[in-house]
Structure 1
C-alpha cells in the first residue's frame, strides 16, 4: 500500500490522490487504507517514515565506521545515490516537503523533523571532523551543515526536474570536491 501511495504522490501530489485511490492502486479495497491508517495524514506520515527508514538503512551500510570528513562526504553521496536509485520515492518525499508549506500543512512538523535529522547528520560529521583536526578552525559547523543539506537538496531537485540531464554521480563528485576544498584544514 505504501508503494502505491508513493507512485500516486509522485505522479499527482498528495492533494491529487485519495485514500480510496491508494487502496485501488495497491490492489486492495478502496476502504483498506482507512482501516489500516485511519487518516490520510497518518498514511502520508507512514510514507515519509518508510522512505526515511529505507534511506537510513542504506546510509548505515555506506557509512560503516567512517567518521569526520570521510563520513560527511559518504553521507552526501548517500543522499544522491538514494535519489538516483529510488527516483519515484524521492519525488514523493520532495512533493511532501513542498506541500507541507501549503496544501498539506499538517505534515509540516514531520517534514521539518525529517530535514532537521538530515541536517543533524551533516552537523555531527562536521563536529567529528573538528575533533579529529580535519576541519578548518573558522568553519561554522551549524551554518555549513545547513549549506551542505541545501546544496545536496538543490542538486537532487535539479536532477528530478531536468529529465535525466543531471548526472548525480558527477554532481556528487563535484560537490564533495568543492566542500573538501572549503572545509579541510590544510
Structure 2
C-alpha cells in the first residue's frame, strides 16, 4: 500500500492504535515507518516492536497449520518461547537477532511436527529410533508428550593446537 493510501485509510478511523496498524498487511515497511513516526511523536505508546512482529508472525504461521498442530505449537510458543520476553522494560526488549532466534525455535518445532505428520506419527508414537531418523535434530523439552527419549549433545573435541607450558 502506498504511503498516501495508508494515510487516507488511517484518517478515516476514529482512534489510532497499534492493533489498527497491525491489520495493514500489504506493505509492512510503510506501516513500520509510519508506526515509528507515530511512536516518536507520542501519538502511539512505545512497544516492543520485535516481540509484536513475532506475535503477528506466529499468528500467520499457525493459521497455515492444521488444528491439531496449532493446539501443540500455540502453547509451546506462548509459554515456553515467548513468555520470558513479555513484560520486559524497554532496555531489555527484543533485538532483531533475538526475534529471529525466537522465530527459528518455533519454526523447528513446526518442521518437526509436520515431519511427524508426513510419516503418520503422533507424539505418543515417537520412539528413539524415529527421533534419530528426523533429519534436522530434536528438542529436549517434551512436557510428557513423548516416551523417554535421548537427544545426544554434540561432543566437543580437544583443541586443535596444544600449547606447552612455556607457550601458555
Same fold (TM over 0.5): no
Normalised to the residue count of structure 1, the TM-score between the two structures is 0.29
Larger RCO (CA within 8 A; separation ≥ 6): 1
Between Structure 1 and Structure 2, the one with more helix by share is 1
Higher alpha-carbon Rg: 2
Normalised to the residue count of structure 2, the TM-score between the two structures is 0.31
